[in-house]
Amino acid sequence: MAINLSAEQRQVGQDNFARVTDGLTRRRFMRGLAVAAGAAIPAGAAYYFGYKSMDGKPVKAALIGGGDEGGVLVGEHNPEFLEFIAVCDIRPFNLDIKPGQKHGGRIFDGDPKVQLRKGFRKVYGTKANNIKPYRKVEDMLRENPDIEAVVIATPLVTHAPIAIQCMKFGQQRGKPIHVLTEKLMARTIKDCKEMITVAKETGSVLSVGHQRHYSLLYAHALDVVEAGVLGEIKHISALWHRNFSWPEHGEKDGPKLAEIPGALAELHDGWSPPILEMDYNELKNSLKDYGYKDIYELIRWRLYERTGGGLMAELGSHQLDACSIFLGHVHPISVQGVGMHSFFGTTGTDDRRPNPREIDDGIFLTFEFPGRNHPNGANKGNDKSDTVVVTYSSVSNNGFEKYGECVTGSRGTMVVEEEKSVYLFPENAPGKKGDARGTSIGVTTTAGKPALDSGGTWGPSASAAAPGGAPAGAGGPPPSRGYREEMEDFAYCVRSWDPKIGYATTSDGSFVQRLPRCHGKVAMADAIIALTANIAMKTRQRIEFKHDWFEPEKKDAVPEAMV
């Protein structure tokens, strides 16, 4: 994202961000809580996001979907908040315990020599043997009445049916089953609205895994935006670029590939994983029972329109989520864009364009968002010309730039790179020469407002501890991406939840009890942005977002009705 920054400039930018956020935090903390200057500031996500410890009563949970992301969630979860007692997956490769088998049962695999995933054993030691494996969700729920919550990490098209099945099961047994599902919330907005309705009817907590809502790094970046020190923001650019253009043939030391009658040569890449014999043989006759047309739809679900939502759902949704947070949790005004399907083939019969896929391999979008003083902006102003443009691209055949978001304002620029580094630079004042990318800044007060300044006085002059847990500069552990905090917050909501109050609201429309930060309505907005962008690219038109799409009660108001 920050391709033209030298190592020295990166260091300056990171130190600037650390100093400015430290200064802003101290100021807010001293004002808000009336603590004397110099007092220690409580740190940590629980304090920042407002949840507490579980007093030795973790929520008993089941994981549904033990693939790549399931493995990440297992590795990141805190057993003091969420204790997994069962796991469900239909693929033998991701579930079965096969002693001595190198690549099977990876979710359970604790052998450091072959550890493909941070497994349950790493968290629970030998007690991991008590975690019960299942093929079918219903069997798992029926046999484990202790399950209070499920964490769903399955392909996009299954999020809604599995979440609804679990919540309804909880209602029938007379004790709710709460749901944390991975993003994107669902394959259609109709499904999102149905999930929100069922959560209300069954009294279940519904949370969605857009982890940037739980990242301290993003929380501090938002502080910088909200303090106004970047000046007027008119443009945010975001991108996620990767290179999948070197298809691999088979695995050197891996499990056997399936021999599928009539199949194409087994080329694969990051989104087109190999089809393994152990999965194919076991599932070839039962896939339809699980709702899959064939083995490709199950294992390469990201590549098909029916089962996935393309680059926008998988990658863009995270970054547009960040952009709408930076702009004050607002909804966009419009989107237009171009989706290209010009690198990979569709059929796989053309040798020059291997690895067939239905989804676009490059997307380029322009969103118009309301600025703070726009009638739909954070301040609900009356300036219709106050708009912000967000440009987004994601490509699959070039990884020179990686991923991140760049917020450009009239007084400064902030770059968030790969969810782990933030660089902050001032705009040079008139008459001031020199390289802004080499300018050290802090924060000071100008006309009663915080402002970036090379003589900033609020923060310590030396490098402050970087926000998000990492020490300023290189060498420290990377900051948390928010997975752990997202699961902790979900568990805390479940433990303090009163199903009788459920989703009741006060007269001003706010919820009576505490919900997860990324609850159904919040996550539905991210799904609307991603899926409407797909429609705009498909139909090559500029689409204006409609207010009713964002209202869960307006069941028939959905963007997919346009196509």
Residues that bind ligand NAD (CB under 6 A): 64-70, 88-91, 94, 137, 153-156, 158, 182-183, 209, 211, 290, 314
Kindly give, in sequence order, each residue whose CB lies less than 8 Å from that of residue 399, ignoring residues fewer than 6 positions away: 241, 242, 243
Q: Which is nearer to ligand NAD, 374 or 484 (CB)?
A: 484
Q: Which is nearer to ligand NAD, 441 or 487 (CB)?
A: 487
Minimum CB separation of residue 95 from ligand NAD in Å reads 7
- What does DSSP say about strands 82-88 and 59-64: parallel, antiparallel, or unpaired? parallel
Q: Which is nearer to ligand NAD, 367 or 483 (CB)?
A: 483
| CA 58 and chain centroid, separation | 24
The SS3 call for residue 37 is coil
Rounded to 5 degrees, φ, ψ at 131 are -75, 125
**The dihedral formed by the CA atoms of 522, 523, 524 and 526, expressed in degrees to the nearest 10:** 100
- What is the Cα Rg of the chain in Å? 24
Helices 317-326, 520-539: crossing angle, 10 deg rounding: 120
Q: Which is nearer to ligand NAD, 10 or 183 (CB)?
A: 183
Minimum CB separation of residue 183 from ligand NAD in Å reads 5
Nearest residue to 86 (alpha-carbon basis) of 102, 115, 64, 111: 64
Minimum CB separation of residue 65 from ligand NAD in Å reads 3
Q: Which is nearer to ligand NAD, 292 or 458 (CB)?
A: 292
Minimum CB separation of residue 516 from ligand NAD in Å reads 14
Estimate the share of the chain in helix, then strand, then coil, as percent rounded to the nearest 5: 35, 20, 45
Name residue 63's beta-bridge partners: 87, 151
Minimum CB separation of residue 133 from ligand NAD in Å reads 11
The structure tokens listed for 12 are: 């300056």
Cα 309 from Cα 125, distance rounded (Å): 37
Q: Which is nearer to ligand NAD, 12 or 217 (CB)?
A: 217
**Is the Cβ–Cβ distance between 428 and 454 less than 8 Å?**
no
Alpha helix positions (H), 455-500: 483-495
Minimum CB separation of residue 46 from ligand NAD in Å reads 21
Query: Which residue of the chain is nearest ligand NAD when measured via CB?
Result: 67
Minimum CB separation of residue 274 from ligand NAD in Å reads 12
Q: Which is nearer to ligand NAD, 169 or 503 (CB)?
A: 169
A 10 A CB-CB count for 540 gives 10
| CA 478 and chain centroid, separation | 17
Minimum CB separation of residue 518 from ligand NAD in Å reads 10
